[in-house]
A and B are shown apart, each in its own frame.
Chain A
Amino acid sequence: MNINKVEEGIFKVLMKASTLLVLASLFLIIYSILRKGLPSLSWAMVTQTPKGGFFLGKGGGILNAIVGSLYLAGGSTILGLFISLPVALYLNIYRTKTSRFANFTRLCLDVLWGIPSIVYGAFGFAIMLLVGLKASLLAGIFTLTLMVIPIMIRAMDEVIMTVPKGLIDASYSLGATRFETSLKVVSKQVLPGILTAILISFGRSIGDAASVLFTSGFTDRIPTSLMQPAANLPLAIFFQLSTPIPEVQDRAYASALVLTLIILIISILSRIATKKFTKHKV
């Protein structure tokens, strides 16, 4: 038998096995969430705020955490986008490929990417003390924004790097400035990549518990202003799991199910959006 064929066969099996392993663990997680969470998931749970303080009671729902999470993740993603896109464009369009400053910035961002979210939480808390800000939606959004910025910039940076130089030159040769080129040509060309960056950031932001633990606080109510504390799903799951009451523990799985569904919906929406926006890509 041909040795090349054997080699090919072995590696093919290995690759398939790894892929299966990844898929299996994902489905196992979803299965366990569904098995424990689905029975406790009710309409009341997603439409009511909790009755009985910090989930110790069994009544009410987790609407406070759902809304809080969407506010926190949405706010930080939008704020992050306005900071990240200019930085990513600057690094690529205004700085050359061998620019030391740009590469130093990339290194810093990679380090920031790796910092655990609890450190961002502690940092955010320290800043809050400094400026006299109480645990609030605003402080939570700021802290999460700090956390997602490096992720967003680097994700956009990687796609902007792939824009062909000829395309940028084509725009320059028509008399466009770098700003016009960035805004009208590069941003359009990398729109799918920008959407992916937004999605990754949103996912990180909505799934993080540690950075908002100290900064946005926790409450049973839905915040009506940026200065009020806000609940969020990951912390709701944590608090519910920590109770000794089995029914409340099951509700933690139901909350996890809600969180997973939100991420699923966002992923599907971004896929649809990506398809819609790639039609002009060259």
Chain B
Amino acid sequence: MKKATEIFIPLMTDVCAEGNICVEGLNVHYGDRHALKDINITLPAKKITAIIGPSGCGKTTLLKCFNRLIDSIDGTKVTGKVMLNGEDIFDPHADVINIRKKMGLLSQRPYPLPMSIFDNVAYGPRIHGTRKKSELNQIVEYYLKEASLWDEVKDRLYTPASGLSIGQQQRLCLARGLAVKPEIILGDEPTSALDPISSAHIEEKFVEFKNKYTIVMVTHILRQAIRIADYIIFMYLGEIIEHGPAEQVLEHPKDKRTSDYIKGIIS
């Protein structure tokens, strides 16, 4: 295995501060392929961090490590630590359910569950023990409002979620994720399947939420990162090349590969 490369990490402190996600020496292998190479990074709490980089650079893999969806991929080997609130996510004794509960996920295309709009939002609270109908009604209404979907669906809460437009479906997925009260929102190119107006909705929501949640999103769209990110991580072939406050990375990139990517020479 490659020795840890010394890179300057401005956000890294000795103790991982409350709410921050601290990645320490993370390596991921898919069979023979070394997908993530010695990742050391701290993602700040209550900010929007955008992970950018060309296809196949490991952005999504890194994201999948945070909620351990990587577990369900065949033949992966993970070493290293991801610390959150003093606990290592990859600790063999870690409570995966609890970890996933803390993180809402928005995937590339929305996957509404095969049930009604109401049941989609109530799914998480229900499996975590909320049974009372009155309580569920409140939860569903509150989070659909949070995701700015309530007005559009309040008259058809009990119709199939698959009947919504794709943009509405993504906002439903957002509401569904928020309903389990996460601390972190993970977005895996959450707007890539959406039309511009629906994309703008999601971006607005992210900006609105950043005081309440830590948001980590993978994006293919550089302009999106410019619009909403506070911090930027640039990845290339499984490594973190550069990271820091958005302006610094975008306007004064230190590495040639970063500036090439930003200029569009590589993509």
Contact = CB atoms under 8 A, between A and B. Distances in A.
Contacts, number: 86
A175 B116 contact: no
A175 B98 contact: yes
Interface string B120-141: 0001100110000000000000
B177 interface: yes
B162 A280 contact: yes
Given A173-B67, A173-B105, A281 B114 contact: yes
B103 interface: yes
Return the 9 tightest CB-CB contacts between A and B, nearest first: A175-B101, A173-B105, A174-B124, A280-B114, A170-B111, A188-B114, A189-B114, A96-B74, A166-B111
B149 interface: no
B114 A172 contact: no
Interface residues of B, number: 33
B11 interface: no
Interface stretch (A64-72, A80-88, A176-184, A217-225): A176-184
Contact of B161 (A98, A168, A177, A282): A282
26 contacts: A96-B72, A96-B74, A97-B74, A165-B72, A166-B107, A167-B111, A167-B114, A169-B105, A169-B111, A170-B105, A170-B113, A173-B103, A173-B104, A175-B98, A175-B100, A184-B115, A184-B127, A185-B114, A279-B160, A280-B114, A280-B161, A281-B114, A281-B162, A282-B111, A282-B112, A282-B161
Interface string B20-42: 00000000000000000000000
A282 B69 contact: no
Nearest to B124: A174
Q: For A96, A170, A172, which residue has the most chain B Cβ atoms within 10 angstroms?
A: A170
Interface of A: 96-98, 164-177, 180, 184-185, 188-189, 279-282
Contact of B97 (A177, A279, A282): A177
B127 A180 contact: yes
B210 interface: no
B194 interface: no
B162 A282 contact: yes
Given A96-B74, A180-B127, A184-B123, A173 B113 contact: no
Contacts of B257: none
Contacts of B186: 173
Nearest to B116: A280
B173 A170 contact: yes
A211 to B, nearest CB: 36
Contacts of A172: 69, 72, 100
Nearest to A96: B74
Given A173-B186, A175-B100, A180-B127, 20 more contacts: A96-B72, A166-B107, A166-B111, A167-B113, A169-B111, A170-B105, A170-B113, A173-B104, A174-B100, A174-B124, A174-B176, A175-B101, A175-B124, A175-B180, A176-B123, A177-B97, A177-B127, A185-B113, A282-B114, A282-B161
A171 B113 contact: yes
B77 interface: no
Contacts of B123: 171, 174, 176, 184
Interface in B76-131: 97-98, 100-101, 103-105, 107-109, 111-116, 123-124, 127-128
A123 B173 CA distance: 52
A173 B104 CA distance: 7
Contact of B128 (A165, A168, A170, A175): A175
Contacts of A281: 114, 162
Contacts of B160: 279-280
B245 interface: no
B56 interface: no
Contacts of A176: 97, 123-124, 127
Nearest to A168: B72
Nearest to A171: B113
B97 A164 contact: no
Nearest to B108: A166
